[in-house]
Amino acid sequence: MFLKFTKGDWTLGEEAKRVPEGATFVANLEEYYRGWVRWSDGKPTDHLIGRVIDRHRVPAREELGDLDESKWETEPNGARRDPWARTSYLALRDLSNDEIVCFTSSSDGGRRAVAKLADRYDKLRHRHKAKMPVVTLQSESYQHNLYGKIFKPVFHIVDWAY
């Protein structure tokens, strides 16, 4: 089941069940993936992703093809949308029910939140042996000159667990 962060709200699954801010999960950084997903007609058509722990090399955008912007899909505002989206995936275990979920994001804020968590894990993991960070789901926002209030997901480490 996918965990998503959209416009300040954490949601779970296709039915977009709201997850309360402050919900607690164990983040499995050994199951952190990143790369590219190709989209067509609102559906993923290709995945070029790999595990960070395996030192997966994320290809440069130019290596993926589909470079002719005149062939890209058009968004409602008239802008062309690149079919390839840089994407991050992170496996998490919900501490309220032990369910495994996967946070996925193609937004800059979402990808940065996972990368920041991974950096903190890398710096602190030697103190905590084989444990993984326990995180609470949080958010923060900033005011963008063009788009107004922008929300970003935050994974706040509160403990460590197996």
Q: What is the pLDDT of residues 31-78, one digit of tens each?
A: 999 999 999 999 999 999 999 999 999 999 999 999 999 999 999 989
User: Which pLDDT value is given to residue 54?
Assistant: 96
pTM: 0.92
Query: How do strand 148-161 and strand 9-12 relate by DSSP bridges?
Result: unpaired
CA–CA separation, 134 and 42 (whole Å) = 33
Q: Between the CA of residue 42 and those of 51, 84, 157, what are the distances in Å?
A: 25, 12, 34
110-133 per-position pLDDT tens digit? 999 999 999 999 999 999 989 999
The residues that bridge with 56 in the sheet, in sequence order, are none
Question: DSSP states of 14-37 as a string?
Answer: TTTEEE-TT-EEEEEEEEEEEEEE
Q: How confident is the model at residue 151 (pLDDT cuts 50, 70, 90)?
A: very high
User: Which pLDDT value is given to residue 82?
Assistant: 98
CA–CA separation, 25 and 12 (whole Å) = 13
Would you give the end-to-end CA distance of the chain in angstroms? Answer: 21
